[in-house]
Each structure stands twice: as C-alpha cells, then as structure tokens.
Amino acid sequence: MSDYNKTAIAQQTKHWLEKVVIGLNFCPFAKREVLRDSIRYVVSDKADLKEVLLELIEELKFLDANPSTETTLLIYPTLFADFEDYLDLVGMGQDFLRQLNYEGIYQLASFHPKYQFGGTELDDASNFTNRSPYPILHLLREESIEAALEHYEAPEEIPERNIKVAEQQGFKVLQQLLLDCYTI
C-alpha cells in the first residue's frame, strides 16, 4: 500500500472522527484530543494476524514512550473485513493487554464498518455508534479516561444517549455520513 493511500485512509478516518464521533457527540472527550492534535493514526499494512499483534505491542510501547500522544487509532484497511474475524482480533488484543500487564493502563475500544451489537439487527441505527470507515482498534489511556469522567456528569448514560442520537438520526442519515468519509 502506498503512502498516498495511507494518507487518504488516515484523512478518511479523521473525517469520520470529526463528522460522526464529534459531530454527533458519540464521544464527548474526542474533540479535546483532536484540537490538541494528540491522536495518532496508524494505517496498518500488515499482511497477517501475527504481524498485526506485533504491531499492537509496538504501539503500546510507543504510547509508553510518548505521553503527549493521548490515544492511537490502529486502522486496518485491508484486513478484518469480516466482523467475526475482527471480534477475534479484539479478543486477542484484550488478552495481550492482560498478558503484558497493560490492563488498567490502556483500554481497547473497537470500531468496524459492519459493527453490530448483540441483540440488534444489522440495519439498526444504534450500531453506528461503533461503525467506522475501516476496522479500527482504539488504544486509550485509562488514567485519562478516568480523569475525563470525573468532570462529566452521568458518564454511565453516554451509551444510552448515543443510542438515542443514532435512532433520531436514523439508518439512512448515518449510513450516508459513513459513506461520505470515503469521498475525502
């Protein structure tokens, strides 16, 4: 994959972050990090699962060594198109956090173009709270999450509020917002 394509994919992901995640306020903490330019976008060109897992370890080490980088989005444009395969990756990533003693230091959030919560239909608008242009593993600093939550009233209500917003927008609007990311 060329650098040009990686740049375009990173730009499409940034567009999604700004228009969907921040624009619909799915994550009330994301805007601050975009403004601070503290988000790292890593477009992976790895060919297999072993390389992806090694890349995840390297990214954890990068975050350890670079405290000014608040969070990393590991973007997989050529792998994990199948949502079940992606969920396997998420599970392995969670296991890695435990095995490498990163549990409580970093948290893994997941986004995928075909994200589907258990108990929902594929075209349920609520799924768009975790849908992204590409499969993404999002590495977050737990300490920063805890600090942000201290200043946010009723953080436990964020998922419910996001579902309401998604349902108000509706499937067609949210699908178009996601498709618009590819035109950047």
Maximum distance among all Cα pairs of the chain, rounded to whole angstroms: 44
pTM of the model: 0.95
Interatomic CA distance for residues 149 and 28, integer angstroms: 10
Q: Domain residues for 152? A: 3-183
Average per-residue pLDDT in the chain? Answer: 95
For residue 68, give both structure tokens: 């000014």
pLDDT tens for residues 88-120?
999 999 999 999 999 999 999 999 999 999 999
Rg of the chain over CA atoms, in angstroms? 16
